[in-house]
Amino acid sequence: MSLRALLPRGYLFTVLGIAVGVAGLVALGAMAERISRFIEGGDRFVLGQISVAGEGMGMGAGFTAGGLLRSAKIAEIARVPGVAAVQPQVMLPLRTSTSQFLTLTQELVLGLDLSVPMPNRNYQVLPVRAGRFLESGDRGVAVVGADFAASRRLRVGSALTLDGATFKVVGTLDKTLTAPDRFAFVAIDDARDLWLRRDPLLVQVFGAGTLGRADLNSGAAVGWRPGEDPDALARRIQSTVGGVNVTIPGELSRLLRESTAFFSALLFGIGALGLVIGGLSLSNTVTAAVFERILQNAVDLKSENDLTV
């Protein structure tokens, strides 16, 4: 008996449809896993430090998207009881047309004050896959995150152009499954130069002598002493230092977890709908096959009876 005789009409098409559906479910599962791991990595990142930015909306970007954070404010933050370290930073969106609000998928240029150790408790040392990380005294060099490097095919020794300035890539990072994967890290003085290139108003204020280079910070990462409650310390900074935006690590973590729950529910709903459609398609095929077989048997039986008569 041929294979065609064993398979009812339309069966192969349905099998192909089910196969596509199963492949889609597998892809959705992988996507859900990646999103969950990405949010978990972001959760670990934000729980490792207190992010502080200048009040208002400036060229800064990232977790606080703030304006100018002057050196005097950084000194005030450092004097708050419970603060262990304050690292001035300059965060600039790679593309100025993109939103400056919180997003873990945004590509950023992050300038670090290398005279201060990384205050993030969970990422005190970022994992370097090739080359090295930034060192004190570096100028004109960059370290790029895994996704940032992959999208531009960058490796150690490559040239990276940012706002007309060329940087030599001295290191690429391993995947962290969180925000640093899409960062380009440079020395803070290089980031300040990029900021001045972008913001004509800032250039005017800086040229008038009312600002020094040490005042050109979009934010700071704050570390806490052992035994200190980071949320309580963040609120203490918020209440004692005026003119700053303070991100409460626990609150930001809650927002990230809520995002995870939303995406998980969405993907689960899509998967459940796919299962229902696939099940209905399969049951329809089986029912059609059974009725077709019954009808064929009835026709065969009638033909035999006619021949007997």
261 close to 81: Cβ distance less than 8 angstroms: no
First to last CA, the chain: 28
Q: For 206-265, write each residue's pLDDT tens digit.
A: 666 678 889 999 999 999 999 999 999 999 999 999 989 898 998 887 876 776 666 666
Q: For 62-108, write each residue's pLDDT tens digit.
A: 443 457 899 999 999 999 999 999 999 998 888 765 444 445 567 89
How far, in Å, CA of 51 to CA of 54, rounded? 10
Q: Cβ contacts of residue 308 below 8 Å, gap of 6+?
A: none
245 close to 53: Cβ distance less than 8 angstroms: yes
Helix runs in 158-248, H state only: 188-198, 200-207, 230-240
pTM listed for this prediction: 0.72
Q: For 115-157, write each residue's pLDDT tens digit.
A: 999 999 888 888 999 999 999 999 999 999 999 999 999 999 9
